[in-house]
Each structure stands twice: as structure tokens, then as C-alpha cells.
Amino acid sequence: MVEITVRKRPRTEAVVTQRKFFKKTARGKVIKVLRERYLRDDVSCGIHSCQVCASEQESVLPSSGLLEHPSFPNGHFLLPDTNVFLSQMDLMESPLFDPPIVLLQTVLEEVRHRSLPLYNRLKALVKADEKKVWVFYNEYRSETAVIREDGESPNDRNDRGIRKATAWYKSHLELSRPAIRGQSRPPQPAVVLLTDDVANRQKAEKEGLPCVSVRKYIEGYKNSSQLLDLLSASGSDTIEPTAAMAIRQALYPEYLPTATLLAGVKSGQLHQGHFNANQYNYLEGSVLVPAFDKPVLLAGRENMNRAVQGDIVAVEVFDEKEWKAPADEVVDQEATLKNDDAEDSEDEGEDDEVLAERKVLNAEAAKQAASSKQPTGRVVGIIKRNWRSYVCHIDSTSLTSTNPTSLSQQTVFATPVSRLLPRIRLRTRQAPALIGQKILVTIDRWERTSRYPEGHFVRALGKVQSKEAEQESLLLEFDVPYRPFGKAILDCLPPEGDKWVVPPKSSTHSDWRDREDLRDLIICSIDPPGCQDIDDALHARRLPNGNVEAGVHIADVSHFVHPDTPMDHEAAARGTTVYLVDKRIDMLPALLGTNLCSLRPHVERLAFSVIWELSPEAEIVNVRFTKSVIASKSAFTYEEAQIRKDDPKLSDELTESIRLLNDLARKLKAGRMAAGALNLASPEVKIQLDSSESSDPVDVEQKELRETNSLVEEFMLLANISVARKIQETFPQTAVLRRHLPPPRTNFEKLQDILKKRKGMTLDVSSSGALAASLDKCVDPNEPAFNTLVRIMATRCMLSAEYFCSGSVARDTFGHYGLASPIYTHFTSPIRRYADVLAHRQLAASIGYSPLHASLHSKSHVERVLEVVNKRHRMAQMASRASIEFYVGLALKARSEKGTVLEDAFVIRTFRNGLGVFVSRLGIEGLVTFKREIQFDADNYTITAPAEDHDVTISVFDKVQVTVEVEQDKNTQRGRVVMYLSKPIDSRRL
């Protein structure tokens, strides 16, 4: 028998092996946490051919380190501290930067604590094949573990732990390469502490450890001229301020301390919310806060106080007598600040730009109407920054030298593609080469003394208006993950690949366990043209008792995507498939999305079916849910299904099934409308491409909606509602649901006022039913498109629908306002939406098919996942719209080269110096501006402009004709759609 020895740890070791800390619970209670850590002496160094470490793990660090740096001729390894990863992640990710790196556990944990997005990027860096990064678990190695000393801050303790690990590596390398008798000691590679913390460097030097700042290290590195541009301004060495800097005037108020901000928000003296910039006026922003029905207005640079779109800010609301109304003038940043100097923009005196901004603000203040005033305030602090990389263009007028061979550093302006962002000052040696390129820029800091934020260049995306650069910039702008699926994810796919088939029916085979065989049912799918990821299919048949059986069959994605696997994690991170005009960014690998899960015709597929018995009046008699195997009999486009339904010569089973489904869908829709569902509208257009191989746009046309569109929509809604009821009943605390909150009545005030004054119509917003009824009455007999326009404008007054965890909100807030349904979820598109995958897992558990994974029993986990999914869903919609706008611009450019493009448009907004118009045929909005003074009646939403022999009055809802052109900006080389009024007057004369 094997002898087992039990060793008792001495009490004196507890100080080192136990980690004690305090944390606050969600309810504010402070608890002490005591964690035991087991120290060992076999944690590997990760260096190849190390004679001391006997590890089974594959080493990733070369034995001699990097030999190409002049400061370390014997080779070296880099050991960065935490702040290097927090400030210089773009450098660390660059393919030009590839030294062997030791990543300490202390650093990894501190990055996770400080910034989860950067932690995720760091994890990806560790896994990248082209990088040489070794994670050294210094907190578990007996020689490198440290404990916090009395009076020592957590930051100082971590710095000491990093220095101790550096010293251990130094001595470890000496042990692994002992001197041979009679020979000189072989050259030892250095382990270099990389830090921008001056105090930490001084302590390391005293301890005899090699250390260097990031900038100094990069100056001696290969490709230094390109890598220096990647350095973050916030992470650079501390520089002694010059006399000029010392006397520089502060342009913005100082932020309040974080503790003061949080206490102020808690007491109600301050208010917290997301900062939203005004796309028409760069000198205005707003923050929606719970305490007020209307957003808090921030007028002027000082009151916006360096907030950037999406930042979570704390605002102080002024006394009511200081409240203002939003500006009614278009104020363009590029036009107002075109003469600003990137080098001198920090020395702000009474220059032309400041005077121009002050003039605009004073003019607006003088024209305020008391009735339109709203809460007004100022930003007093930032709760959380939303800074990331932004797609920009270099402003050519800000260059001091355009010599393409010049490598001198210049300070230039980068103008973001988004109108919601300020210009960014950056220092670069590559400025002349970047003219006419789309580039990626990250904001690093925004000092009180600088009019603009400072940032650094990340990389060039390609030539402006090239499709490749535009497509990549669009994905980056809306934070769409588009990297190829990695090996770990692809390893989760069935090993048979595209040869996988549903196995022959067998009671013993796991794929057939508890599945219904529905292969003989007359099932078909109806989708847009060219659809490859077919999520859903339908069937209907009459029952002997006079009722109808109808079924919705959804791809059984959860059979292939298992919880807590690399593929599941990637799908959760992507959240949704993103549809661009000529490209699709899939949530799942193509093998699943367009093949094994796709319900293609004449192929057996696994499905999750919802089957109802409905009365002839489409009332639900009963519903059941089952896993199934189906074989779709046909895949129709909406147009093909419509033609088949309408053809009186056809009476086969499939056609009759479509007719039966359509008859039920009409009754289901009538029932929804009677319950108060809204029939809203959004501008939907279709881009006609040259051919299936080419992505050159030929023309733009409005999407045609047929009865069969409504047929599919109604049954998908019915399935989603039925599934929502089932999973909420089974999992009342963690059901994945979707809601659409009623909009605040104040959202509709402006639209109500415009309709009343311009058309004499009323809009009742007391309930969704009342709103639906009053929208039906907004009809202009002379203009059929008027009702659609009003519905589009009403849609913009709504709140966005969102996914939520059932246990996280009150039961009376579950409802979907637009659908007039008390409960709703998404179940019908699991190939392209991750929320649907979660709903599938919960439904499978609720019918006893499979147990629910532990993560879906955790309310906090479900909340975290849905927060990501909601963000990805919003971004995907914005990316799709931006893609359409880009292709509309290309189509317009091609048309304008053949002649003038004239389009009918509706006026949707009036300004003191222009009009906002909507071109329904193109599905785009535009701005028509006037350079000359015109009469503006804000109360009646009209402008009056001089024509040849009389004045012309134009108001909101008027139909006008516009000339549409695509103009190239001289500075940024960016193409943009520009509109001019042609009728009733020519705006170019104004």
C-alpha cells in the first residue's frame, strides 16, 4: 500500500499563503474575504530549453530573448508593468512589435480590475499565434509571492511584486546557465522591466534591475518611426512643464473628485446619464436623466466640459430661471473652426474661433422662447469614459509640412467620420503619407487647458472611398467584431464537417432522443432573395375537428452550440449577425449558419418546433413545443410565395398551406391591431448591385412589402410570444425576454405641435392603441406618402426595444409597447441572434428535454450577457444603415456623373439657416443650408426666403424638390452627400 504523508503547514506561513481583503456587497454591506493560496516551486518560467524548470507546458519564449535591440546586445525579455497595458495596448497589439514578453499574474489581475475591455484585449494578445507572451503566475510561486505590508497601498504592493518577479527572473536565468569550469560565463539575456512610472524605475535601478521607459525602449527598436506614433499621450514620461504651459489658461472647469460625484448622484444634487452630442450643432449636447422628462441641455464648450459621445457623466442642473431652449441653427464644427491651428489650439485667447463660437451662443440666447425651455446644466465630472478607437481623416490644412519624405513630428487634426465627435489632436511622423487615407485614432486624454482631446495614430485602413477601407472603417466605427473564427472555435464544429447529416431514425441514437419526426409535413420557408441562413420554416393543415394546425419550425442551433464552449463565448461576444449591403458578418461559423443549421429545402434538419391548434378565427386552442426533425419541401422568396398564393391555377398541398397560413396571419394581425399594436414605419431601401459578383451599386429603390412578408412576421411574433410565456412561467427569475417601454409623452410634444399647427391634426399618445388610431387618421388625400412620413417621425419618438432578464425588472414593465403584447422574447432567429440561442436553451429545459446550464440560473450572468447583446444589436443596426448610406452615395455619384439628380423630398425640420429634408425614395436625410439671412418662424416651423419677384414660405411637411450631389471634401477627401433646394426656390442663390 502506498504510504501517504500528511504535512501540516506551520502557523507562521499563514501570513504568506492567505489573502485577506474586504468587499462591499450589492446591498452595501462590507464583508471580509479570506482566500487560501497554495505556494509552489514548480511554476515554469516559460523560456525554451530552461534547465531548471521541468515543465510539461510548451515554452513560448526563445532561449536568448530578442537580440536586435542596441541597448541589450546579449538579448532580453520584456516584463511590462500594469500601466503599460492600460496605456499602450495599441502598441502591444501592433504586428510590428513582437519582443518576447513575460506577463505577470499580478499585472493580468490588475488590468482585469481596472478595465474589462482591455483585459479582454490582453487575453486575445496572449492567445495570438504571432505574439510571444508567457503568463507567469508569480502570486503562486513561493519565491515571488508577496504580501501587503502595513501602511502599503495596493498599487505599491503590486509594484513591489513586479520588481520581485523581475529580480527572480534575473537570478533564475543565472542558475539555468551556470559557468563551466575553465570557461567564461556565457552571456546572459536581460529581463527588462518596462514601465513609465518614474518612481518604480528609480526603485528598480536601486535594486540593480534593468528598466526602461516605453518611449526610450521604442526609440531603439526596429520600425521605431512607425511605432512611436502608436504611443499614447497619457502613458508618456512625465515632462517638466515649461513656463508657457505653467501660465496656460484653463479653458474648462476642473472635474469634481469621484467620491464627491457619487455622493452627489446618490443625494440627488447631481444627475447621472449618457452624454449625447448634437449632430446639427457641435456646441450643444444633452443628457437624459431620470429626474426630468426632457433631457438636460448642455450649451457651450464649458458646460459640456470635455464630455465625448457615450460618456457616462455627472451633471449639475441650473436654477430654473437659467434654463434654455435648444438652438435652432445648424452650427458645423468644420466650417466654424476651419482656420484653427493644431499646434496653437491650446493657447486659447480671443481668437477668431472663440469669438465665432461666442457669437453663436449669444445669438441663440437672445432668441429663446420661454415655452420651449428645458432643464439646462453643466458636466461636473465623468463617471465612465467611452473612449475607443475612432475612424478619422487627417485634415490636410493642419499640416505644417506636406513633404512626403519628411519624418519630422507634426501636430495635426484628425477629423472623425462621425459628426458627434470632436476633432482630435495627434502627433505623428507619417502625416503627409496619411493624407487621403482612412485611419484609426484613439483618444488618450483631454486636458483642461486644451480645446481638443489628444490622441495617437493606431493604423491606416486604406484609401478614402475604396470599398475595402470603407467597409472596414464602418465595422470599426460601430465596434463590430469581424475577426475570423479561431481554431478553438472551429474545433467545436461537428468533426464530419459539411458531410454531417441527420442520422437514420433510431430510438438509441442521441440525436433522435425525444424528437418528433415531422419529415412528412408539408413545410416550407419564405425569406428575402439570396437568403442562405434560413432560420425558420412554416406549415399549416386543416384538422378533422375544423380547427387548423399551424407550426413554426426553427433551426436547432443549441444542438450544435453548447454552453460554456469557445464557440458559445464567441457567439455571446458577437451578439448578432451584421448585415451590410454586400457582406454579412456572421455570429456563427458558416458551416453552421449557412449549412448544418440552415433549413434548406429537401434536406433533413434538426429543428425546435412550436405547434398550435388554432380556431378558424385564429384563436389559440392549445400550443406545444417539441424538438423535431423536418425536411422542408421548398424555399421561397417573398415574391415567389406571393405569386404562388395568388395563382388561381395552383391548388397543390404546398400552395394551400401558404393560403391557409396567409388567412390566419391576416386574422392574427387584425387581432393585434385591435389590441393596440402600432403599425410604424422606417425608411427601407434596396441597393441594386451590378451583378452577384460585383459590388458596384447601379441604383436605389424602395423595398416592396407583400402579404407574404406579413404572413411570416405574424407567425414569428406568435411563436415569440408563446415561447416567452413558457420560459417566464418556468424560470421567473432568469427568463431571457424582450420589452419595449412606453415612450415618455414629452417625446411626442414637438411632433404633436407640428401636426396641429401645420396640418390641424391631433396625435393622441395616451396609449399605444390611441396612438395607432390617431396615426391612421393622419392622412393627406393629395399626398399618399404623408402617412408613411408621419409614422417614420413617430418611430423616432419611441424608445428602443431591449433584452432583459425577467428577475431584474418589475413585472408590470415586461410589456412590448409597439406590439401591444404583455410579454415577448426572441426565439425565431438563433442562427443570427444570441438572445434566441439562450431562449432555446431555456425552452428545452422547460419542456424537460435537457437540463439548464448553471449560468442561465444566475441572474447576474444573464444580465451581463444581455447588456453585451443589447449593445451589439444597436451597433449592428447602425452599421447596416451606414452601409446602405455609403452605397446610396456611390449610386448617386454614378448617377450624378450622367446628369443632375433631382429627387422629391419632404421637409422634416426647419432651422434659422436651413432645412432638414427626407428623400423617401433614397431613404436618406439631408441638410439644405442657406448662406444669406432668411426669415425664420420657430413657433410655426416655417422659413421665408426671397424668390425672384416674391417671398416663398416653406414649412415642415411641405413637399420640395432637391438636387442631390456627392461632393468630395477638400481637406479630408471624404465623399459626402450634399443637397440643394431646387423647387420652390434655388437655395444656391441664398
Cα 913 from Cα 916, distance rounded (Å): 10
3-state SS, residue 613: strand
Reported residue count of the chain is: 990
Assess contact for 293 and 404: CB atoms under 8 A: no
CB 42 within 8 A of CB 54: yes
User: How far is it, in rounded angstroms, from Cα 85 to Cα 121?
Assistant: 10
pLDDT at 637: 92
**Cα 598–Cα 602–Cα 604 angle in degrees, nearest 5:** 60
| Residue-level pLDDT at 240 | 39
pLDDT, residue 405, reads: 60
Residue 17 pLDDT class (50, 70, 90 cuts) = low
Per-residue model confidence (pLDDT) at position 10: 65
Burial 580-591 (b: 16+ CB within 10 A, else e): bbeeebbbbbeb
What is the pLDDT, as a whole number, of residue 225?
A: 83
Residues linked to residue 925 through DSSP beta bridges, in sequence order: 918
- pLDDT band for 237, please (50, 70, 90 cuts): very low
Pairing of strands 211-212, 190-194: parallel
**Summary count for the chain: helices (H), strands (E):** 27, 38
CA atoms of 642 and 526, how far apart (whole Å): 10
Tell me how far apart the alpha carbons of residues 461 and 472 are, in angstroms, rounded to a whole number: 7
Cα separation, 478 vs 365, whole angstroms:
35
Q: Give pLDDT, residue 242.
A: 39
Question: Given this model, what pLDDT does residue 348 score?
Answer: 47
CA 790, 893, 688: angle at the middle one, nearest 5?
A: 65
Residues 399-410 have a mean pLDDT of 71
**Mean pLDDT calculated for residue range 120-142:** 88
pLDDT computed for residue 823 by the predictor: 96
607 or 328: which leads in pLDDT: 607
* Cβ atoms of 388 and 308 closer than 8 Å: no
Between CA 374 and CA 744 the distance in angstroms is: 15
Maximum CA extent, the chain: 113
Supply the pLDDT for residue 248.
Answer: 62
- The pLDDT tens digits of the residues spanning 574-614 come to 999 999 888 889 999 999 999 999 999 999 999 999 999 99
| pLDDT of 43 higher than 80 | yes
Looking at the DSSP bridge assignments, the partners of residue 935 are: 944
Best CA proximity match to 885, nearest among 929, 925, 928:
925
Highest mean pLDDT among 1-15, 250-264, 408-422: 250-264
Three-state SS string over 104-120 comes to EHHHHHHHHHHCHHHHH
CA distances to 43, 719, 860 from 740, in Å: 52, 18, 21
Position 56 scores a pLDDT of 62
Highest mean pLDDT among 31-45, 417-431, 797-811: 797-811
- Examine the pLDDT at 379 and tell me if it is beyond 80: yes
d(CA 971, CA 339): 12
Q: What is the C-alpha separation between 882 and 471, in angstroms, rounded?
A: 10
Contacts of 440 (CB under 8 A, 6+ apart): 389, 390, 391, 392, 457, 458, 459, 460, 461, 476
Asked if residue 14 has pLDDT above 90, the reply is no
In DSSP notation, 10-60 reads PGGGHHHHEEEEEEE-TTS-EEEEEEE---BS-----BTT-SS---SSPP-
The least confident of 125-134, 206-215, 531-540 is 125-134
Question: Which of residues 869 and 334 earns the better pLDDT score?
Answer: 869
Among 326-335, 422-431, 506-515, 595-604, the range scoring the smallest mean pLDDT is 326-335
pTM: 0.83
The mean pLDDT value for 203-224 works out to 91
Lowest mean pLDDT among 47-51, 735-739, 754-758, 811-815: 47-51
Q: How confident is the model at residue 435 (pLDDT cuts 50, 70, 90)?
A: confident
Work out the pLDDT band at 245, boundaries 50, 70, 90: very low
Q: With bands split at pLDDT 50, 70 and 90, how would you rate the model's confidence at 496?
A: very high
Q: For the segment 889-925, what is each residue's pLDDT rounded down to a tens digit?
A: 888 887 877 778 888 899 999 988 889 999 888 888 8
Reported for 945-950, long-range contacts at CB under 8 A and 24+ positions apart, including other chains, are 945/985, 945/987, 945/990, 946/990, 947/984, 947/985
Flag whether pLDDT at 838 surpasses 90.
Answer: yes
CB of 681 within 8 A of CB of 791? Answer: yes
Query: Residue 633's closest CA among 537, 545, 703?
Result: 537
Measured distance CA(313)–CA(383) in Å, rounded: 5
Per-residue pLDDT, 563: 95
Burial (CB count <10 Å: 0-12, 13-18, 19+), residue 960: buried
- 976: which 3 cell numbers? 459626402
Kindly tell me if the per-residue pLDDT of 246 is higher than 80.
no
Angle between helices 116-127 and 105-114 (to 10 degrees): 140
Taking residues 168-175, report their average pLDDT: 90
Question: How many Å apart are CA 96 and CA 330, to the nearest integer?
Answer: 44
Q: What is the mean pLDDT of residues 923-950?
A: 85
Of the chain, the percentage scoring pLDDT greater than 90 comes to 46
d(CA 558, CA 627): 11
Q: What is the CA radius of gyration of the chain?
A: 32
Sheet hosting strand 101-104, strand order edge to edge: 133-136, 101-104, 76-80, 190-194, 211-212
Which has the higher per-residue pLDDT, 362 or 196?
196
- Range 807-824 average pLDDT: 93
Mean pLDDT of the chain: 86
What percent of the residues of the chain are helix, what percent strand, and what percent coil, each to the nearest 5? 35, 25, 40
Say if residue 522's pLDDT is above 50.
yes
Predicted pLDDT of residue 16: 63
Q: Nine-digit cell at 866?
A: 444581455
pLDDT at 375 over 70: yes
The full set of domains in the chain, from first to last, is 45-178+187-230 (3.40.50.1010), 252-336+371-386 (2.40.50.690), 389-464 (2.40.50.700), 487-736+818-878 (no CATH), 742-798 (no CATH), 900-983 (2.40.50.140)
In contact, 316 and 381? CB cutoff 8 Å: no
Residues 6+ apart with CB under 8 A from 688: 697, 698, 699, 700, 701, 891
Terminal Cα-to-Cα distance of the chain (whole angstroms): 101
Name the packing angle between helices 566-574 and 834-846 (round to 10°).
120
Show Cβ contacts of residue 382 under 8 Å, excluding neighbours closer than 6 positions: 255, 306, 307, 311, 312, 313, 314
Go through 98-114 and write b for each residue having 16 or more CB atoms within 10 A of its CB, e for each that does not.
ebbbbbbbbbbebbeee
- In which band, very low, low, confident or very high, does the pLDDT at 969 lie, cut at 50, 70 and 90? low
Phi, psi at residue 833, to the nearest 5°? -135, 125
